[in-house]
């Protein structure tokens, strides 16, 4: 008869104890026994690094854990795993680098950090044979990173389409119900769904960071984030949602990725999706990611993309995985499965899809002919066209809306530029892409 050796607890240190950090501590305490079974041993918090030691914290944060000195964590050989939930680029990057160099596993929820430095940090983690886990960096509680890294390890991903920002999704949902952008944004801020400065969210850059992270796992791609075309939702007007509805679509803000062989197609922007699309009815603050595997086919994940507990669920799931790997003597095994290579991002001008075009025009003879001629000169074929018979603006402008057949972005842009020089045009044309997803 052999006796199983008693396993030492896995000791973790938190960097930050704000909303997400508090949720992590609460979940670790509430599910302590259950998590120990999953990890194969106890998980024990030893340190919590904060800026202000006297600031009120969740009840689960013990005073003896609090420190303002990072050296207390990185110089402590008992600390097995560092959990970064402080956000921002610095000093978070420096702390994670120190943790990896010290042979400690790392769990992070930092999408900015992984988007900018993910490939570099993955290489460092592989070299040090430690884990770098970042499930919570994309989609809050939606297990999209784990799905791409593990569940689809036997398949290759053809495409991903994601509603990746709850603020944008909430605003577009309310606008579809009749609110203006400004009123919907204010309501989102009052409900805590949007920051006081919502630029990162409504400008599309939050979703772009998440798309870069997903591209690492979906396509094994190291990309230059600056090459990704990013558009937000602040220019969407109620009339666009009305026309989209008439044509049989809804407008969603999407992060889109396609594997194009030696290149990847990555873009973030509002898009028209069919009312029967799998993403059309993902509303409010929910996030949704639609993955198309070459062998699996379609796969949809939907859930809460932000908040203390949804994000904490993903962070703690990573803590359990990293803890289990250390207990079993195989640290870094999951991270070593992430293999990345440089991939060029396809220029937006080469992207091919269908388009929704809206022009505000004056009452001039031959307007439709001029528009159709400019589009035809660039090889842009019209599928549907609607000219509203009533003026929507004080200057008497009426909208002309067009749905095109599939064509290149470059062709559409050249045609629209030619139309912009016409005397009948009032205001800036609207170009939105249509995604068949």
Q: Is 369 exposed, middle or buried (0-12, 13-18, 19+ CB in 10 A)?
A: exposed
Distance in angstroms (rounded) separating the CA atoms of residues 248 and 269: 19
pLDDT score of 121 more than 60:
yes
Q: Measuring CA to CA, which residue among 71, 127, 137, 75 is closest to residue 100?
A: 127
Query: For residues 259 and 54, what is the distance between their CA atoms, to the nearest angstrom?
Result: 50
Structure tokens at 78: 């008992």
Joined together, the tokens standing for residue 83 give 């959990």
CA distance 323 to 131: 10
CA pair distance 322, 315, nearest whole angstrom: 11
Look at residue 2 and tell me whether its pLDDT is greater than 60. Answer: no
Cα→Cα distances 141→138, 173, 404, Å: 8, 21, 37
CB-based burial of residue 29 (10 Å sphere; 0-12 exposed, 13-18 middle, 19+ buried)? middle
Overall average pLDDT of the 46-59 stretch:
94
Tens of pLDDT, residues 186-242: 999 999 888 889 999 999 999 999 999 999 999 999 999 999 999 999 999 999 999
Q: Which of 283, 103, 287 is nearest to 211 (CA)?
A: 287
Question: pLDDT value at position 262?
Answer: 93
Residue 38 has pLDDT above 70, yes or no: yes
β-bridge partners, 425: 361
Q: Is the pLDDT of residue 249 over 90?
A: yes
Confidence class of residue 390 from pLDDT cuts 50, 70 and 90?
low
The whole-chain average pLDDT of the chain stands at: 94
Express as a percent the part of the chain with pLDDT over 90. 89
Rg of the chain over all Cα atoms, to the nearest angstrom: 25
Q: Give the containing element (helix H, strand E) for 373.
A: helix 367-377
- Most confident option among 287-291, 362-366, 384-388: 287-291
Q: Are 249 and 273 in contact (CB under 8 A)?
A: yes
Does residue 396 register a pLDDT over 80? no
Query: Which pLDDT score is estimated for 5?
Result: 40
* pLDDT of 397: 86
Helix (H, G, I), strand (E, B) or coil at 115: helix
Query: pLDDT digit string (tens) for 141-187?
Result: 899 999 999 999 999 999 999 999 999 999 999 999 999 999 999 99
Closest listed residue to residue 140, CA positions, set 267, 326, 308, 21: 308
Which residue blocks in 220-366 are alpha helix, DSSP H?
238-247, 308-327, 333-336
* pLDDT reported for residue 392: 54
What confidence tier does 1 reach under pLDDT thresholds 50, 70, 90? very low
CA distance linking residue 244 with residue 222, whole number of Å: 35
Q: Domains of the chain, with CATH numbers?
A: 10-140+309-339 (3.40.50.720), 144-305 (3.30.360.10), 349-435 (3.30.70.260)
Q: Which two tokens stand for residue 240?
A: 């666009």
For the chain, percent of residues with pLDDT exceeding 70: 97
Choosing from 104, 111, 124, 210, which is the catalytic residue? Answer: 210
The residue assigned the tokens 């949804």 is 310
pLDDT at residue 192, as a whole number: 87
The answer to whether 217 touches 155, Cβ cutoff 8 Å, is: no
Question: Could you tell me which of 35, 31, 63 has the C-alpha nearest to residue 50?
Answer: 63
For 130, 288, 383, the CA distances from 276, given in Å and listed in that order, are 44, 15, 19
Higher pLDDT, 304 or 391: 304
Nearest to 194 by CA among 315, 308, 311, 306: 306
Concerning whether 210 is annotated as a catalytic residue, the answer is yes
Could you tell me if 227 and 417 are in contact, meaning their C-beta atoms sit under 8 angstroms apart? Answer: no
CA distances from 352 to 276, 355, 406, 436 (A): 22, 9, 6, 12
Q: Which two tokens stand for residue 250?
A: 């809804």
Whole-number Å distance between alpha carbons of 233 and 252: 9
């Amino acid at each position: 008869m052999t006796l199983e050796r008693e396993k030492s607890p896995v000791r973790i240190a938190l960097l930050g104890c704000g909303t997400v950090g508090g949720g992590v501590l609460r979940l670790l305490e509430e599910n302590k026994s259950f998590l120990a079974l999953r990890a194969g041993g106890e998980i024990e918090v030893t340190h919590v690094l904060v800026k202000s030691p006297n600031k009120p914290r969740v009840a689960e944060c013990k005073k003896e854990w609090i420190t303002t000195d990072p050296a207390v964590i990185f110089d402590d050989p008992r600390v097995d795993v560092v959990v970064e939930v402080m956000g921002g680029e610095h000093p978070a990057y420096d702390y994670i680098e120190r943790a990896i160099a010290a042979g400690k596993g790392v769990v992070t929820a930092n999408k900015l950090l992984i988007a900018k430095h993910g490939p570099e940090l993955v290489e460092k983690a592989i070299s040090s044979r430690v884990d770098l886990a970042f499930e919570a960096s994309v989609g809050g509680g939606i297990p999209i990173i784990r799905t791409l890294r593990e569940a689809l390890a036997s398949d290759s991903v053809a495409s991903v389409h994601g509603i990746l920002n709850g603020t944008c999704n909430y605003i577009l949902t309310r606008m579809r119900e009749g609110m203006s952008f400004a009123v919907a944004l204010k309501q989102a801020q009052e409900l805590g769904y949007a920051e006081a400065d919502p630029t990162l969210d409504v400008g599309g850059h939050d979703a772009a960071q998440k798309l870069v992270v997903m591209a690492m796992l979906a396509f094994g791609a190291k990309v230059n984030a600056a090459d990704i075309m990013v558009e937000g939702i602040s220019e969407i007007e109620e009339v666009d949602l009305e026309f989209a509805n008439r044509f049989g679509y809804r407008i969603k803000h999407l992060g889109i990725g396609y594997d194009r062989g030696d290149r990847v197609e990555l873009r973030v922007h509002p898009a028209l999706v069919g009312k029967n699309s799998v993403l059309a009815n993902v509303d409010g603050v929910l996030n949704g990611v639609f993955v198309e595997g070459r062998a699996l086919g379609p796969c949809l994940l939907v859930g809460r993309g932000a908040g203390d507990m949804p994000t904490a669920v993903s962070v703690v799931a990573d803590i359990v995985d990293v803890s289990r790997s250390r207990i079993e003597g195989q640290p870094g095994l999951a991270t070593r499965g992430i293999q990345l290579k440089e991939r060029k991002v396809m220029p937006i001008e080469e992207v091919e899809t269908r388009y929704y075009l809206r022009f505000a025009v004056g009452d001039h003879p031959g307007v439709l002919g001029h528009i159709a001629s400019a589009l035809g000169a660039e090889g842009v074929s019209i599928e549907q066209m609607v000219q509203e018979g009533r003026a929507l603006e004080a200057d008497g402008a009426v909208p002309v809306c067009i749905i095109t057949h599939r064509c290149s972005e470059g062709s559409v842009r050249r045609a629209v530029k030619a139309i912009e020089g016409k005397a009948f045009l009032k205001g800036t044309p609207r170009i939105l892409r249509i995604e068949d997803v």
